[in-house]
Amino acid sequence: MPKTANCPEVTALLGVFALYWKVDACIDDAPEAPELNRMESHLLIGLDEPRRMGELARRMQTVPSTVTAAADSLELLGLIRRERDPRDRRAWQLVLTPAGQVQRAALQNAAAELFREVSGLSEEETQQFAALSAKIHDNILATETKPSGKE
């Protein structure tokens, strides 16, 4: 049977899957026990600015109850706090504490190092990939009406 080349869309998907699987395996194989679970880490990364939990759930493609559970844990660890949203005093938003800012920076640095190691991309290629990935992410958020409920 002759070998046929994949179309660019399939090649892109295979690359994204391979990247995800490799990063996932590296996280699982990390020798040190993580202080935070994946959802808690994802939530901290998503708090680049104060955000409501519903917005975080939408951006993280999960259900609000999952964000609430992670927020409860992070609050107990002193990494976030809940405060009134100044735009709507009836609503609450999550805000990083100083300890949360330190933890978030450490997570970002570790993720960046892992990405560079696993992807093999140059700095310029990483910038291009980041821009394209942000465009994909924004498109998915703009077209998605409700979270899938998958974690």
Write down the domain spans for the chain.
10-143
Q: pTM for the whole thing?
A: 0.78
34-45 confidence digits (pLDDT tens): 588 888 988 999
Calculate the CA 108 to chain-centre distance: 10
How many angstroms separate the CA atoms of 42 and 35, rounded? Answer: 13
CATH hierarchy code of domain 10-143 = 1.10.10.10
78-103 confidence digits (pLDDT tens): 999 999 988 888 888 999 999 999 99
Please state, in angstroms and as integers, the Cα–Cα distance from residue 48 to each residue in 29, 44, 82, 98, following that order: 27, 8, 15, 13
95 closest CA partner among 134, 43, 31 = 43
25 closest CA partner among 87, 118, 99 = 118
